[in-house]
Structure 1
């Protein structure tokens, strides 16, 4: 399935895989696919509030999600039901694969959060990544994952954050 930026409105399933199993599957509206970057919009897929302490994901939240076929991350702009920007949640992943009506993304445990005001930039789940054993089983992927996290952290620390990346 490939669309151009002028052809929004198609629906697909985002399939997040972790450890060889589907972690979550949810419907998303395809906003664009330029052959490298895929952009979708989805509502918070959880049935209840998920409070991380630094942000709450709640029913009604809207995620505009950016995936790349050639990069080891996904960036998700998070807005509340009222449209207010909460921030950006970034997953470190293998490059995305769009096959038919499924966008499949393999989660590599590392994450990054940047608050809307840019004051809170935090690396997440580095302990889970270390415990995953990826560095031993797939050193190339582990190296790419760490480099992707470093890239996103550097972008998040700049004025404007991810604006240039997502434009």
Structure 2
């Protein structure tokens, strides 16, 4: 098991949870975790107790990707956090969230979320803003090319 620690832009821990490591390299860690919080309807997707999250963390990319499947195994979509490159250690993954998020549905339609929160944030450094913009662009290109976790996108 590994502990994931989500941090704010100042590096303060916001919350943590555990997952099972599925694969790891020097630059990537893929884990499986399950939604254990109360059901949450986001409008574009509903996260429910027991949903399976296959989470992709990178030490050299400004985002992470959560491939989400329901209890029935059906893909719901991909939730992506624009974040500083992950710090991956033997027993934990730490990642600084930068407010921007992306939802990709099963057909590959993309919604960029929380742009207003990102623009209004006064606690982001110039480096964080620059990295977030580059990370968002790289992520959108990855979706368009159906690379990595997005290879499952349907017609």
| TM over 0.5, shorter chain | yes
Q: What is the aligned partner in structure 2 of residue 131 from structure 1?
A: 120
Using the TM superposition, give the Cα deviation of residue 159 of structure 1 relative to its aligned residue in structure 2, in angstroms: 5.2
Give the number of equivalent residue pairs.
Answer: 150
- Unaligned 5+ residue runs, structure 2? none
Which of the pair has the greater relative contact order for Cα pairs under 8 Å at 6+ separation? 2
Equivalent of 2:2 in 3, 8, 12: 12
Q: Which runs of 5+ in 1 are unaligned?
A: 1-10
Equivalent runs, 1:39-54 vs 2, <5 Å? 39-46=30-37, 48-54=38-44
Deviations 1:91-112 (A, max 9, x none): 0111111234111111010110
The aligned counterpart of 2:104 is 114
Summarize deviations over 1:1-28 as a string: whole Å, max 9, x none: xxxxxxxxxx011111124332221110
TM-score, reference length from structure 2: 0.89
Matched-pair contact (CA < 8 Å) for 1:44–1:63: yes
Match of 1:163 in 2: 151
Alpha-carbon distance between aligned partners in 1 of 2:70 and 2:91, rounded to the nearest angstrom: 27
Match among 47, 67, 79 for residue 77 of structure 1: 67
Structure 1 moving runs of 4+ over 4 Å: 158-161
1:158 deviates by 4.2
